[in-house]
Amino acid sequence: MGLNIKNPEVERLAAEVATALGITKTEAIRQALEEKTKILGIEGKLRKHEEFRKYMADIHKQYPQLRETKITKQDYDALYE
């Protein structure tokens, strides 16, 4: 999925950092966001989400019938009876 930056200030900052580090603007933004996730302490949470998605993808490969199961309104209603 692409990202289209329409903020001139962000574009300018990305270009300055990229030039100073000798990297692309995309890499400068990636590194900045990676550092911010560490500062905010969400790095581990993101990794856990990625691991969960991979786990679920593996489950769906092993048991494709699970993915095809449709839950009906009756199924939901039965949960609250």
Question: Which ranges in the chain belong to alpha helices (H)?
Answer: 8-21, 25-40, 43-62, 64-68, 73-79
Distance, CA of 47 to CA of 49 (rounded, Å):
5
Place 15 in a pLDDT band, splitting at 50, 70 and 90: very high
pTM for the whole thing? 0.52
Place 13 in a pLDDT band, splitting at 50, 70 and 90: very high
Of the candidates 5, 49, 9, 29, the one whose C-alpha atom is nearest the C-alpha of residue 21 is 29
Where are the chain's structural domains?
7-41, 44-81
- The tokens describing 56, both together, are 């679920």
Place 78 in a pLDDT band, splitting at 50, 70 and 90: confident
Summarize pLDDT for 16-71 with one digit per residue, the tens: 999 999 999 999 999 999 899 888 877 777 777 788 888 888 887 887 776 667 78
